[in-house]
Structure 1
Amino acid sequence: MNLKMIYTWPSPAKINLFLYVTGTRIDGYHYIQTLFQLLNYGDTLKIIPNKTGNIKLFTHKKSLINIQNSIINAAKLLREQGLFYEKINNINIGAKIFLKKRIPIGSGLGGASSNAATTLIVLNKLWNIKFTLEELSILGLKIGTDVPGFIMGNTAIIEGIGEILYPFKQKEKWYLIIYPNTQILTKNMFSSPFLKKNTPKKSIKILLKEPFSNDFQNIVTQKFTHIKKLLSMLSEHAPSRMTGTGSCIFSEFNDKKSAQKILALIPKNMKGFISKSVNISPLHKMLYKKDIVY
C-alpha cells in the first residue's frame, strides 16, 4: 500500500455501552470501567506530509483551529517524541491536515480523541517513525483518556484511566444516535459535585451480566430537561442511554429499519444519524487488514 497516495483517513466515533467511575487518583485522574463500542461513522482526516516544519490544520469549523486542538497536539507530540528517541532524522517534517467534521463537539462520541488517534497512527506511518501501537497509546494518553482505545482499534472493555484495554467482540447492532444540540465539556462532568466516584469495580464477567448504565446520565438529565425528555421518549421504543459524559443519547436496535422508524420521530431541532457498530476500527481495517479481534 502506497500511503502517500492515500490522503483521506477515517476517524470513527464511539459510544460507551456502560461507563462507571470507580475511584480517583491523587493526581486527579479518575479510574473508570467502560465498554468502548466503535461505530462505522465518524470524521475524516486528509493528511499530506511535507518538509516545511509546519503543522497546519484546515477545517470548515474555524473554532477548532487553535493551538489546543487535539490534532495539532498529537502531531507535535509525535514529532517531539520521534526526535527524542532518534526515530526522526529530519527536524523539518510537517504536515497539512484537513478535517471534515461529522462528530458533534461535546457529544460524548469521542471526536477529539479519535482525531488525535488517527493523526498519531497515520503520521507515524507517513513520517516513518515506526512506533508500535502500544507506544502510540502511551503517547495518546497524554492527550486524552479515550485516545488509547481509538489507537488500539478494537471494541474493548477499558479500565484504569484509559490505559488498560481488554479487546472484546461485541455482537454488531444498529444504533440511533441523537445529538440534542447541547455541548457538554468532559472536565465539567468529572468536576461535578454530584458525580458518584466510588462505583464498585467489578469483574468483566459480572459487568456483562448486569444491566448497563452510565454514572453521568443522572447528572446530565437533572441539568438538561430536554435531554431527560429525549431519553424518556427513546426508551419507550428501545434500550436507550447516554454515551460518555454527554450529551448524545443512543438507542439500540437489531436492524437498520427499526432505527429509521424511530429517527423519524425525533424533534426537528435535534440532529440524528444511524450507524452500525463495528468491532474493528475502519482505520485499522485500512492500514492493518485486521479482520479478527486480538
Structure 2
Amino acid sequence: MISISLPSPAKLNLFLHILDRREDGYHNLQTLFQLLDYGDQLSFSINKQPEINVISDLKDVKPQDNLVFKAARALQQATNCSWGCEIQLAKKIPMGAGLGGGSSNAATTLVGLNSLWQCNLSHDQLAEIGSDLGADIPVFVKGLSAFAEGIGDKLTPISLNPIWYLVVTPKIKVSTEQIFCHSELTRNAPAIKIRALSEELYRNDCQSVVETLYPEVKQVSDWLKRYGNPLMTGTGASVYCRFDSQQEAKKAQQTVPNSWSSFVAKGINQSPLHKQLENL
C-alpha cells in the first residue's frame, strides 16, 4: 500500500470586486488570490479496490458530502481508474471563513491522487474537473498566487511581495450563497486591468453585506483597525491585516480576544503541495 501526506494551503482574497451577475446565476468578479504557508494536511493510502473512504473529525459533514470525497470520485470517474484510497483529513483552516479550506482540500486530492493513481492528467485537466465542484478549486490545483476573473476560474499567475498576515475569525460560519444572493450586494464594480493593480484599490464588495448580516465580522474588522487597514477575505468570516514582519504579526496576535481564533501566516507565490510533489 502506497501512502503519502500532502499539504492543503489556505488563501486570502486581497481584494474582491463583483462586476455583474451572469445569466446562469453566478457572478463575474475580479480578485487577487494570495496563497498562504498555513493550511490543512491530507494523508492518502491507495489500494487496488475501488472504494474511497474519507476520515475526518468534521461532525457536521457526511463523508459523501465532503469535497475531498467528491474530488476523488470525480477523478476516478474521469479517468476510469480502478484504484481506490483512504484519505485522512486533518483540519486547521476554519470552515465558512473565506479561506478556501474545502476548495484547497479538493485540489490537494485531485493533484495528489493524479500522481498516486498515475492518471497523468495535466494541471489544466485537473482544474477543469475541479471547476465543476467549486470555483476556487482551480487556483489551488495550479498552485500559484493569481489574479482571477470570470467566476474566479480565469487565472493569471502573479508574483507578490512576501507579506505576513494576521488572520482573525469569529466563531461563526458565513453562507456564501446567502451573500451572493443578497439584494444589497454591489454588482457594478468597474473592471480593472492587471497592470493597474494598486493596494489603494483593494476592497471587498461583499464586506458591507456580511457585516450587516453577521455583526461579529464587523467587530473583528473594527478591532483590527488598530493595526492597519483590515479586509475580509472571500465572503468571510475571516478578516486579515498585513504586517511587515512575523514578529509584528505575532505580537499583535497575542492581543486577540479569546473569543476569536487566529493564526499568523506568510504570503507565498507557489503552493507547498506542488513543491513537495516536485521533490518526490
1:122 aligns with 2:137: no
Which amino acid in 1 is paired with 2:249? A
1:156 aligns with 2:154: no
Shift of 1:97: 0.3
Which amino acid in 2 is paired with 1:208? S
Which amino acid in 1 is paired with 2:75? L
**Counterpart residue number, 1:194:** 184
**Residue among 1, 4, 7 paired with 2:2:** 4
Question: Any gaps of 5 or more consecutive residues in structure 2?
Answer: none
SS across alignment from 1:15: strand
Per mean C-alpha deviation after superposition, the further-off stretch among 205-214 and 34-43 is: 205-214
Matches within 5 A, 1:36-115: 36-83=33-80, 88=81, 91=82, 93-115=83-105
TM-score by length of 2: 0.96
1:234 aligns with 2:224: yes
CA distance in 1, matches of 2:76, 2:18: 33
Which amino acid in 1 is paired with 2:269? N
1:256 aligns with 2:256: no
Query: What root-mean-square deviation, in Å, do the aligned CA atoms of Structure 1 and Structure 2 show?
Result: 1.4
Determine if contact 2:12/2:34 at 8 Å carries over to the other structure. Answer: yes
CA distance in 1, matches of 2:58, 2:71: 19
**Counterpart residue number, 1:270:** 260
CA distance in 1, matches of 2:205, 2:278: 35
**Counterpart residue number, 1:280:** 270
Percent identity between the two aligned chains? 38
Which amino acid in 2 is paired with 1:220? V
1:24 aligns with 2:21: yes
**Counterpart residue number, 2:132:** 142
**Counterpart residue number, 1:34:** 31
TM-score by length of 1: 0.92
Q: What CA deviation, in whole Å up to 9, does each residue of 1:136-191 have, x standing for no partner?
A: 11111001000000001001001111221110000011100111111012111111
SS across alignment from 1:62: coil
CA distance in 2, matches of 1:226, 1:163: 30
**Counterpart residue number, 1:175:** 165
Per mean C-alpha deviation after superposition, the further-off stretch among 107-116 and 257-266 is: 257-266
Question: Any gaps of 5 or more consecutive residues in structure 1?
Answer: 290-294
SS across alignment from 1:272: strand
